[in-house]
Amino acid sequence: MKLSQAIRDALQALVHLTTQGGSQSVACHVIAEAQGIPDPFLRKVLERLVSTRLLYSLKGPTGGYRLARPAGRITLLEVVEAVEGPIRGRLDFEGTDAKRLGGKLQAVCDRAAEEVRRQYRRVTVADLAGKG
């Protein structure tokens, strides 16, 4: 299983916010500089977290981003799905044996995806920040 760069950046930003207290606003450029992430890319990732209600975005001179709830209540699964969409056992299988094998393989892929979801659900941002 490989996590995308966008997921890694989202996790770094959430851990950064957690270590800053979680309830205070931090500007995107401050997070980007501290984590070595390009600001424009991080801004897009953070907006996905805002749209899924994992973060609040505050406007103005003292604005920035802050956790929408305690880090111990934000799971890795929520972050992954906020950034990449739902984890599914997607099978792209073509060829003459696709019908015969497809159903069996799809069932295996579905079970594997559910196991990944279960494991990701067990880990929180607080755990990743060493505060769990």
Per the CB < 8 A criterion, the answer to whether 47 and 10 are in contact is no
Name which of 16-20, 51-55, 99-103 the model is least confident about: 99-103
pLDDT digits (tens, 9 = 90+) for 45-69: 999 999 999 999 999 888 899 999 9
At 62 the pLDDT is 81
Give the pLDDT band (50/70/90) at residue 121.
very high
Break the chain into its structural domains and give their ranges: 5-128
Give the pLDDT band (50/70/90) at residue 116.
very high
At 95 the pLDDT is 59
Token output for 66 = 């802050």
Q: What are the Cα distances from residue 40, in Å, to 36, 77, 129?
A: 12, 24, 24
User: What is the CATH topology of the domain spanning 5-128?
Assistant: Arc Repressor Mutant, subunit A (1.10.10)
Quote the CA–CA distance of 10 and 82 in Å, as a whole number. Answer: 9
